[in-house]
Amino acid sequence: MLGYRVLTPSVYVNDSVQVEVYWRSDYPIYENYTVQIEVIGPDGQGYGILDTYPGDGNYPTTDWMVGQPFKDHYGVRVRSNFPTPGVGHIKISVSYNKPATVSNIFGAFAVHTHDVPSLNNAISANTAARFGDHLLLRDAQTQLSDPHTLAVNLLWQASGAMPDGTVFVHVVDPQGVMLAQKDTPPLQGAYPTSAWLADDVVSDSYNVMLPTLPAGLYTVQVGVYDAAIARWPLSYSDAHIAQNDILTLTQMQVDAQGTITLQALYPPSR
150, 229: one domain:
yes
* 69 lies in some domain: yes
> What is the rounded distance in angstroms from the CA atom of residue 64 to the CA atom of residue 153?
55
Q: How many CB atoms lie within 10 A of CB 231?
A: 16
Residue 119 forms part of a structural domain: no
Residue 143 sits in a domain whose CATH number is 2.60.40.2550
Q: Is residue 122 part of a domain?
A: no
The per-residue pLDDT for 104 is: 81
- Tell me which of 112, 137, 152 is where a domain ends: 112
pLDDT single digits (tens) 102-117: 678 888 999 998 888 8
pLDDT at 214 (0 to 100): 92
* Domain span at 149: 129-264
Does residue 120 lie in a domain region? no
| pLDDT score of 228 | 85
Q: Are residues 105 and 12 in the same domain?
A: yes
Does the pLDDT value for residue 269 go beyond 90? no
Residues 142 and 241 in one domain: yes
- Residue where one domain finishes, among candidates 112, 147, 162: 112
Same domain for 40 and 87:
yes
CATH of the domain at 67: 2.60.40.1930
Do 49 and 87 fall within a single domain? yes
- Contacts of residues 250-255 at CB distance under 8 Å and 24 or more positions apart, as own/partner, are 250/142, 250/219, 250/220, 251/217, 251/218, 251/219, 251/220, 252/150, 252/171, 252/217, 252/218, 252/219, 252/220, 253/216, 253/217, 253/218, 254/213, 254/214, 254/215, 254/216, 254/217, 254/218, 255/215
Are the CB atoms for 220 and 170 separated by under 8 Å?
yes
Q: Looking at residue 14, what is its pLDDT?
A: 96
Domain shared by 144 and 230, yes or no: yes
Predicted confidence (pLDDT) at residue 267 exceeds the cutoff of 90? yes
Query: Is pLDDT of 270 > 60?
Result: no
Question: Which of the 8 DSSP states describes residue 25?
Answer: B
Q: Please give the pLDDT value at position 114.
A: 87
pLDDT digits (tens, 9 = 90+) for 177-224: 999 999 999 999 999 999 999 999 999 999 999 999 999 999 999 999
Whether the CA torsion 51, 57, 59, 61 is positive or negative: it is: positive
At 70-101, the pLDDT tens digits run: 999 999 999 999 999 999 999 999 888 766 56
Asked whether residue 197 is domain-assigned, the answer is yes
pLDDT in tens, 28-57: 999 899 999 999 999 999 999 999 999 988
| Dihedral sign for Cα atoms in the order 222, 224, 227, 232 | negative
DSSP string, 141-204: EEEEEETTEEEEEEEEEESS-----EEEEEEE-TT--EEEEEEE-GGGGTS-GGGPPTT-EEEE
Length of the chain: 270
Q: Of 64, 82, 112, which residue constitutes the final position of a domain?
A: 112
Other C-beta atoms closer than 10 Å to the C-beta of 20 total 13
The whole-number pLDDT of residue 87 equals 95
pLDDT at residue 98, as a whole number: 64
Residue 151 and residue 256 in one domain: yes
d(CA 12, CA 200): 12
Q: For residue range 250-261, what is the model confidence (pLDDT) as tens digits? A: 999 999 998 999
Q: What pLDDT was estimated at residue 7? A: 94
Asked if residue 210 and residue 105 are part of one domain, the reply reads no
8 A C-beta contact, residue 115 and residue 14: no
Contacts of residue 47, Cβ cutoff 8 Å, sequence gap at least 6: 39, 40, 41, 78, 79, 81, 82, 88
CA distance 28 to 214: 74
168 domain residue, yes or no: yes
**Mean pLDDT across the chain:** 93
Measured in whole angstroms, the distance separating CA 89 from the mean position of its chain's CA atoms is 13
